[in-house]
Amino acid sequence: MKPQYKFLSKMLLFKGRTLWCGLLALVLILGGSCKNNLVEKPYSFLGEENSFKTASDATVALDAVYDRLRTIYGMTMINLADLNSEELNVESTVGATILDFKTNTYSSSNPTFDSFYTNCYLLIDRANRVIKNVPGIAMDATAKAQVIGEAKFLRALTYFNLVQAFGDVPLVTTPTSDVVNVSIPRTAANDIYTQIINDLKDADAAGLPLKYTAAGTIGRATSGAVKSILAKVYLTRKDYTNAVLYAKQVIDSKLYSLFLDYKNIFPPENKNGQEHIFSAQYSCVKTAYGSPMAEFFSIYFSYPINQGGGSYNVEPAYVNSYLSGDYRKQVTIITQKVNPANNQLVSARNGPCVDKYWDPLPCAEFDARNNFMIIRYADVLLMYAEAINEVNGPTPDAYDAINQVRTRARNGNSSANPQNLTGLSQAQFRDAVLQERGWELCFEGHRRWDLLRTGKYISTLQAAGIPVSQKNLLYPIPQHQIDVNPALTQNPGY
């Protein structure tokens, strides 16, 4: 699509005035053009009343919502969800604000919290503008419903991220257009979840496609993505009956399947493949749209550009947690890598590294082609097994779901580990699913949320020798947000 449409809310000049970034920055920057991989470009400032006129306007506005996913996921989610667990370690070169996630010594002034919070609300405000304005556009009714449904899905997903991280947060469902009244209090988490579920159900009823195939549309939310996130939300809410219902709908759709080889999940060439239900899209359309994960996780001097390398490595105890022969360990955790720029074999200096995000042909330094997999089919199978077990104990369907994942982990060797599970009690099966999620989904932005959902966060970190207390069950509300919004309160302990 040619970059001929421009989006903006009312033009406002803020000289010497503090802006509540979480809700108001979008008033200045909402705008975009779509290209491949849901790329958005900001243009100039126009009144919103002149912006939503055509079907193309609706598409461009929706692209601007998708664009924000890259700022919420990537290394931000890795730090929030995986570094703050027993899986990962990080070198001191990354700086104190990142190291604090490993030791639970972060404060409300940590810039990661403010960036995450701000970008979440930027996405929410963009979604709110689509939801408000697109109904008034004269366009195909089916396409209109899909645009609004996708915007509601993205708003729900983002509120799900916020409420898991911070608990109570401001609930804003209309576009922000006033820089004067920014005193918006926190809304109870239960009410946030009600909004999340309502948005997802609206999206589910909107008739989203089963699959997108046209250029420039691959990576958009599908009906399977909506049902998968609904299953996860219900699982988090301990509404196991509905979690079973929606996970089963995804499974019964036959739209998704496990890659036969675990290693095929991760190469950039396979992104948006048969197992990938919904991902944040990164690409080389412009270097600014690339992912930093490949370099951060690579072995020092193995990254092909500037002979660089990352700073994240795997905790030894986590490496040793795998059963002997589990193929996923071989694929995921490495101590050597050939640098494709010079064909030199490089050994890890500071412990094993993660190979899931390797890209031999990155766009630039800290800009590679790897998507961030928000949810994939193996995740749904494991959620299904977990939810069934909570309802009826380890039934044959629950065993079948988890054993599909374990079977692939044997990589065709029937005598290898992990062997299929059988004969477990409900409590044993519950623990087995959590362990399986750790092996299968490690370093994909799930671990902290899984441990919190199952009530194992504090005990798991204590067992790993990581400082932890009750206050760490929620992250602090960013201090900058409290400074500019006097109605916000802080979480206990911060």
Instruction: Tell me which of 123-137, 194-208, 277-291, 381-395 is least confident.
Output: 277-291
For residue range 105-122, what is the model confidence (pLDDT) as tens digits? 999 999 999 999 999 999
For residue range 52-102, what is the model confidence (pLDDT) as tens digits? 999 999 999 999 999 999 999 999 999 999 999 999 999 988 999 999 999
Residues facing 339 on adjacent strands: 344
209 vs 17 pLDDT, higher one: 209
Residues facing 276 on adjacent strands: 376
As a whole number, the mean pLDDT across the chain is: 90
E strands of 42-127, at which residues?
A: 88-90
Q: Is residue 51 over pLDDT 90?
A: no
The pLDDT value recorded for residue 47 is 57
The pLDDT value recorded for residue 233 is 98
Backbone angles phi, psi at 187, to 5 degrees: -105, 140
What distance in Å separates the CA atoms of residue 183 and residue 33, rounded to the nearest whole number?
A: 33
| Contact (Cβ atoms closer than 8 angstroms) between residue 430 and residue 437 | no
What distance in Å separates the CA atoms of residue 82 and residue 445, rounded to the nearest whole number?
A: 6
Q: Is residue 36 over pLDDT 80?
A: no
Q: pTM of the prediction?
A: 0.91
Extract the tokens encoding 238.
Answer: 């301990």
Q: Which helix (H) or strand (E) holds 276?
A: strand 276-280
For residue range 187-198, what is the model confidence (pLDDT) as tens digits? 999 999 999 999
The pLDDT value recorded for residue 37 is 53
Among 309, 284, 289, 314, smallest CA distance to 298 is for: 309
372 in the Ramachandran plot: left (φ > 0), alpha (ψ -120 to 50) or beta? beta
SS (H, E, C) 107-164: CCCCHHHHHHHHHHHHHHHHHHHHHHHHHHCCCCHHHHHHHHHHHHHHHHHHHHHHHH
State the first-to-last Cα distance of the chain, in angstroms, to the nearest integer.
47
For 64-73, b where at least 16 C-beta lie within 10 A, e where not — what string? bbbbbbbbbb
When pLDDT is averaged across residues 142-170 and rounded to a whole number, the result is: 98
Instruction: Tell me which of 4-18, 83-97, 140-154, 310-324 is least confident.
Output: 4-18
Q: Cα angle vertex 188, ends 183, 194, to 5°?
A: 115
When pLDDT is averaged across residues 269-280 and rounded to a whole number, the result is: 97
Q: Which helix (H) or strand (E) holds 354?
A: strand 353-354
When pLDDT is averaged across residues 181-208 and rounded to a whole number, the result is: 95
